[in-house]
Amino acid sequence: MKRRTAFLMPAYNPNREDLARTLDSLLAQSECADIVIVDDGSRVPVSGMLTPQAGVIALRLDRNQGITAALNHGLEYIVNHGYEFVARMDCGDLCLRDRIEKQQAHMDAHPDIDLLGAFADIVDEQGQHLFFEGTSGGRAAIGRKLRDNAAFKHPTFFFRTSSVRRLGGYSPDYRHAEDYEFMWRFYKEGGIACLDDVLVIYEKNSASISSKNRTAQLRSRLRIQLKYLEPMRLSAYAGLARTLVTLLVPAQLWSRLSRLYWDRAAGRAAAPDARLIR
């Protein structure tokens, strides 16, 4: 029987152990999903790091084109091969075993939702818990958070292929902030929600794309906030101001301030059962 959902995971020169850990968590799902890995022109082909097995599809770009191109290449494959849902994932992050089961069931019960997120357990490079990140309270709360920053982590994205046909894929116009623009567009033109369940363990890594390209990402975020500006809402201007301040504040200090914010905002999220994936 054909699986309804496909994971979409771009990869560029991934660490072999990180790739194996992530794949193990995807293959252990209580509701099976295929896994589409897009190799963005890695020096060593990702396909050579994989043990051939059913449901794991490795695509490869002939040269490094950046994460947006890799995401859209994978999306095109998933849409054209008749899958119903897409689950975003990054190499190095982990899924709880019931992620697909819970997100797929929610989408079945709420056909008006185009993009569904969830809470993430944010951990450091040693796997130690830092804070939970996500947004409770439905569409209105997500809209309020979006004026400031992303409302939930991109590896928790779960969306319909029919919505991609209607609303489009990832925009190449916002370097290192393509997920934030994607979330804004789906909020403005479609249905969006976030589960209170913690379904992903997200590693906060100093070598990540976001960390290495912080300034470019913040500049793209500012352009996205201006693109979707709601001029009658004071919170929209507060979001712009926050991004401008973030550009001026050193990354380490802002990271500590961000942790304090999420400790307060998301502290009520239920902790995941680590035995399921570790």
The dihedrals phi and psi of 7, each to the nearest 5 degrees, come to -70, 140
* CA of residue 25 relative to chain centroid, distance: 16
pTM of the complete model: 0.88
Distance CA 278, CA 260 (A): 26
Any bridge partners for residue 58, and if so which? 37
Tell me if 181 sits within 8 A of 189, measured CB to CB.
no
Per-residue pLDDT at 224: 97
The C-alpha torsion from 205 through 170 and 73 to 219, rounded to 10°, is -50
Q: What is the pLDDT of residue 136?
A: 95
Domains of the chain in start order, with CATH, are 5-276 (3.90.550.10)
Q: Is the pLDDT of residue 254 over 70?
A: no
Q: Looking at residue 249, what is its pLDDT?
A: 80
Please report, to the nearest 10 degrees, the dihedral formed by the alpha carbons of residues 221, 19, 170, 212 taken in order. 30
Q: Is the predicted pLDDT of residue 278 greater than 60, yes or no?
A: no
Q: Which of 53-62, 121-130, 201-210, 221-230 has the lowest mean pLDDT?
A: 201-210
CA–CA separation, 239 vs 94, rounded Å?
Answer: 30
Dump pLDDT digits (tens) for 136-178. 999 999 999 999 999 999 999 999 999 999 999 999 999 999 9
Q: Does pLDDT of 275 surpass 70? A: no
User: How much is the mean pLDDT over the chain?
Assistant: 90
For residues 59 and 257, which has the higher predicted lDDT (pLDDT)? 59
Output the six-digit token pair for 185. Answer: 């567009």
| Pairwise CA distance, residues 117 & 107, whole Å | 11
